[in-house]
A and B are shown apart, each in its own frame.
Chain A
Amino acid sequence: MLFNSYIFIFGFLPVTLGGFYVLGSRRREWALLWLAAASLLFYAWWRPLNVLLIAPSILINYGISRFLERNAQPRPGLARVALVAGIVFNLCFLGYFKYLTFGEQALNDLFGTSFILTQVVLPLGISFITFQKIAFLLDVHAGRVTHFTFREYALFVLFFPQLIAGPIVHYREMMPQFKAVSCRFDAENMSVGLTLFFFGLAKKLILADPLSSMVGTPYDQAASGVPPTIINAWIAALGFTLQIYFDFSGYCDMALGLARFFGIKLPVNFNSPLKARSIIDFWSRWHVTLTRFLTAYLYVPMTLAMTRRRMASGKPIRSARDMGASAFITVLAMPTILTMLVSGVWHGAGYTFLLWGLLHGVLLCINHAWRLIRPRIWRNTASYNRRVAPIAFLLTFISVVFAMAMFRAPSVGTAVVLWKGMIGGYGATLPQAILSRLGPIAGWLQALGVQPAWTSGSLLLTATARILVLLFIALALPNTLELLAAYEPAIGIKPAKAPGFLLGLTVWQPNRAWAVGLAGIALAGVLSLGGLHEFIYWQF
């Protein structure tokens, strides 16, 4: 059931929430049980078969975590074996559904074998669910989670606001909330939840979805061999960046809002990533909980092992200034690139995702290398950050947009064609209708090599205007977390000490002006329902 469907908004949600409040006024346990059952129904809605696939995995994970809980202290060796077995089980489960076809194809490509590609139907949200379960096993093993019942575990695994596409949550940040939540109607939770939910719905339906046809055409054309001219290539790349931006931002807002209806706060997952001033900064703002997961369970252990080994062999890294090339490769580049490759294939089984991950890995390495070299050239960090900010932002933005073309393209070849178009490899054209209205400027443009084309001028203008408006929203306006900061919209969010001028004007308050504005946004969102575009992140 999509968050942006009639059945969800007018059927499932009111019934689930109503039942939750009614049962909650009698006994909290009933309300929580009801919530878990409703979540299961939510998951089963598309294909009831999905439940049969996911239920055994839940049960097996529960069994292993119980075993870990009991044996972590008295028998650490045995617990370690169980932990590894549990992780391997989860990875195999994911691997079968997600990577079998790609694995066969890759083998065929590499060795000329001719495996027949198996078509497996991907259970919804499997990548998210799997990562969350692995995190849970690791937490139980490390003693960060103790004393849990099956009911609590099931609620944690199934909680529908974050079930399909995250945020990837930790048991230790969710369960204390479930234990404390009143399970009754609360005006503040309801109004904050509604604000988040309808902001998200509007972002998805009004800002993101209309881009999909505008973006689809140039990608399809590039795939079928029509080379894109510079303007079309940029419209395609920028358009998709903004589409996935508002699609995922909308999803994250809706997830936060839905959880808040039940009195639960989810962690921050999306925090104006296009405002980032470095690639490292970008990854601390885009899909924050995935970055958190990969950093904690993959990147840090690898880097830690490498760094400790260097330290033990008498080659300590006392300071950034004396880090040599070999240290850079073993301690930094290898773990970073490996982590980003995993992030890439986690998004999708295909060469484009792998290369997208590799690209971000390399970008992160360049970013880190610069952080090591820069203090030697420019001592004063504060003045550097101030002066270089615009350039840093622009470089980051362009890198992200180029990489997104690889993420979206149906094949690596198509992405390369698009990149070539973006740097002007296939020339530049402007619609004749526009050129003829430019007067003397048209002459200069043609002297620069801009060719007239018999394409629609109004389409180009609408596309450009749309992109500019969306860029303004993404880059200049405060985000929902900032607007609602006084009401802790996500775990740990606090109001800024010195809010900017725009934020000061627009900060959320439970007053009449906001109620009217929000009603308008909600109405616009609901009237746009019916297209039923899936969230991009639901396919991962």
Chain B
Amino acid sequence: MPEQERLATLTRILRDLLGDDTIELTMRTTRQDVPDWDSFCYVNFIVAVEAEFRIKFRIADIESFSTVGTIVKAIDTEQTR
């Protein structure tokens, strides 16, 4: 699946979680860029992404995702594993 499609999926998940339809994620977005994207919402987001793509991240990775882009790449790695 191309990058853009994944970004769109992640954007939809986060919009649902935060109830904010103006959110637009890019590969460079960080958590600080999105208002109210706190640790709790982040965990919900991660689990929703795991369910959507039928993968499971390693806990050490979850902490070190610095941008949305690193999450998109991690989805690739996990799916090919």
A residues near B (Cβ < 8 Å) are 142-144, 280, 295-296, 299-301, 303-304, 307-308, 311, 316-321, 331-332, 336, 368, 371, 375-376, 379, 381-382, 385
Instruction: Please tell me if the beta carbons of A304 and B43 are within 8 angstroms of each other in the complex.
Output: yes
Chain A to chain B contacts (Cβ below 8 Å), 11 pairs = A144-B60, A144-B64, A308-B47, A311-B50, A317-B47, A319-B16, A320-B17, A332-B40, A371-B41, A379-B19, A381-B36
CB within 8 Å for A321 and B43 given contacts A144-B60, A280-B38, A300-B62: no
Contact status B20-A375, CB under 8 Å: yes
Interface membership of chain B positions 20-50, coded 1 if the CB is closer than 8 angstroms to chain A and 0 otherwise: 1010000000000001101111111011101
Closest partner residue, chain B, to A322 (CB atom) = B16
Query: When chains A and B are docked, how far (Å) is the Cα of A379 from the Cα of B19?
Result: 8
Determine whether B8 belongs to the interface, using a CB cutoff of 8 Å to chain A. no
With A295-B39, A299-B39: A307-B47 Cβ-Cβ less than 8 Å:
yes
**By the criterion CB–CB under 8 Å, are B19 and A319 in contact?**
yes
- From A308, A368, A376, A381, give the contact of B35 (CB < 8 A): A381
Indicate if the CB atoms of B18 and A375 lie closer than 8 Å: yes
Closest to A309 in B: B47
- The 7 closest A-B CB pairs, nearest first, are A375-B19, A142-B60, A319-B16, A307-B47, A303-B43, A381-B20, A296-B63
Find B47's partner among A142, A144, A304, A375 (CB 8 Å cutoff).
A304
Sample of 18 more A-B contacts, CB < 8 Å, known A307-B44, A308-B47, A371-B41: A144-B60, A144-B64, A280-B38, A299-B39, A300-B59, A300-B63, A303-B39, A303-B40, A304-B43, A316-B51, A319-B16, A319-B17, A319-B19, A321-B19, A336-B40, A375-B18, A381-B18, A381-B35
How many residues on chain B are close to A (CB under 8 Å)? 26
Residues of B within 8 A of A (CB): 16-20, 22, 35-36, 38-44, 46-48, 50-51, 58-60, 62-64
Complex alpha-carbon distance, A233 and B16, angstroms: 45
Per the bound structure, the CA–CA distance linking A385 and B43 in Å amounts to 23
Cβ–Cβ contact B40 & A368, under 8 A: yes
> Nearest CB to that of B34 among chain A residues?
A381
Q: Which of A296, A307, A336, A382 contacts B22 (CB 8 A)?
A: A382
Instruction: Return chain A residues, CB-CB under 8 Å to B62.
Output: 300, 304
A320 contact set on B, CB distance < 8 A: 16-19
Asked if B44 contacts A317 (CB within 8 A), the reply is: yes
> Nearest Cβ in chain A — how far from B33, in angstroms?
12
Give the one of B20, B41, B50 with max A CB within 10 A. Answer: B20
Within the complex, what minimum Cβ distance (angstroms) separates B54 from chain A? 12
B-chain residues with CB within 8 Å of residue A368 when the two chains form the complex: 38, 40
A296 proximity list for chain B (CB < 8 A): 63
Residue of B20, B39, B50, B63 with most partner-chain A CB within 10 A: B39
Chain B residue nearest to A280 in the complex (CB)? B38
> How distant is B27 from chain A, measured CB to nearest CB, in Å?
19
Please determine whether B39 and A300 come into contact, CB atoms closer than 8 angstroms: yes
- Note all chain A residues with C-beta closer than 8 A to B43: 300, 303-304, 307
Nearest A-chain residue to B57, judged by Cβ: A304
**Which residues of B have CB within 8 Å of A316?**
47-48, 51
Query: Across the interface, do B51 and A311 meet the contact criterion of CB distance under 8 Å?
Result: yes
Could you say which of B39, B48, B50, B60 contacts A318, with CB atoms under 8 Å apart? B48
Chain A residues closer than 8 Å to B48, beta-carbon distance? 316-318
Given contacts A318-B48, A382-B22, contact A371 B39 (CB under 8 A): no
Alpha-carbon gap, A295 to B39, bound state (A): 8
Please indicate the chain A residues that have their CB under 8 angstroms from the CB of B16 in the complex: 318-320
CB distance from B71 to the nearest CB of A (A): 15
Contacts of B58 in A (CB 8 A): 142
Q: Chain B residues with Cβ under 8 A from A382's Cβ?
A: 22, 35
Q: Which residues of B contact A280 (CB under 8 A)?
A: 38
Give the complex CA separation of A282 and B19 in angstroms. 23
What residues of B have a CB within 8 angstroms of the CB of A336 in the complex?
40
Q: Which chain B residues border A371 with CB–CB below 8 Å? A: 36, 38, 41
